[in-house]
Chains A and B, each alone.
Chain A
Amino acid sequence: MKRKVVVVPCSGIGKALGAAAREAAYVLTEDLRPECTKITALGLLVLGDPETRREVEGGAAVAIDGCKLECAAKGLEASGAGRVHKVAVFDVIRRHRGLKPEGVTDLNEDGLRLARAAAEEALKFVDEEAADA
């Protein structure tokens, strides 16, 4: 069975960019590449849940972070992921000037657009990994 690319978003619930990171993970795993990606919770990963660790160790993963602390990327690296592609929503927004994401519980339209843009930045990596698998 093909190993899926694990996608770990920021789990923050205080800022719109964190919410955009989470939505980007859903866009990637449910809309764009459902057949070869899988969302995983950061909390499980960092607390060392054995099943989650097995999914991550040595494999390919996408970290989608909302702020510069990059908790998702650090969590994946510390858990032994083989190849980590980092998507930083705070950088993605610089490439899409004019977007004004708002909302944490529910993102506004600009937040959803930013999420889509962030998800698309991981596509090349996911497709290459899927082709290798």
Chain B
Amino acid sequence: MPDLPKKKVGLIACSGEEMAEGTVTRRAVRKVLETLRPDETVTLCLPLFLAGGEGERTFARYYPTIAVDGCEKRCAALATEKYSARPAASIVVREVGKEIGCASLGTGRRLSEEGRRLTGIIAERIAVKTDELLRKPSRPSPHRTRREGR
């Protein structure tokens, strides 16, 4: 049996430094990567993605991705779609914050208690989406294409 690359989910945070929601995206993605789903996820660097990083773009072309955006401008989702493929899932922090009634999140530099609470909730949602994506078939990955070609 050949050693095939394990299918993982790519997480792309908008990282918007000028707003608290951007910091929530960053911290939530790190939480998923470090503690919630370390073996099932990787992060894709948004600036590198935008600057033409072929590794990031190729990954997002063949593997499922989750775009985590701070606001309705949805830079992470738009960049992923523009340069690779439509993200398999998209989460917008500001929308989730409204939905669950989070008030003041703090600043881009320092999140408030509410901001940290929202970070935990976003991280949980990313983890749930990750599980969903790994259970169901998604876009063809390189190893699947090879198998199908036999």
**Chain A residues in contact with chain B, CB under 8 A?**
9-14, 22-23, 25-26, 30, 39-44, 46-47, 49, 69, 71-72, 74-75, 104-105
Contacts and interface: CB of A to CB of B under 8 A. Distances in A.
Given A11-B46, A12-B48, A41-B15, A47 B75 contact: yes
B113 interface: no
A26 B108 contact: yes
B18 A43 contact: no
Given A47-B75, A49-B73, A39 B47 contact: no
Interface of B: 13-19, 22, 26-27, 29-31, 34, 43, 45-48, 50-51, 53, 73, 75-76, 78-79, 82, 108-109
User: What are the 4 closest A-B residue pairs judged by CB atoms, nearest first?
Assistant: A71-B47, A43-B75, A11-B15, A46-B50
A43 B30 CA distance: 18
A69 B81 CA distance: 22
Contacts of B30: 13, 104-105
A41 B18 contact: yes
A9 B15 CA distance: 11
B51 A9 contact: no
Contacts, number: 87
Contacts of A43: 14-16, 46-47, 50, 75-76, 79
A12 B45 contact: yes
Contact of A13 (B29, B50, B73, B108): B29
Contacts of A69: 48, 51, 53
A120 B47 CA distance: 24
Contact of A11 (B47, B53, B73, B109): B47
Contacts of A22: 17
A9 B17 contact: yes
A47 B108 CA distance: 20
Contact of B15 (A13, A40, A105): A13
Contacts of A10: 47
B107 to A, nearest CB: 8
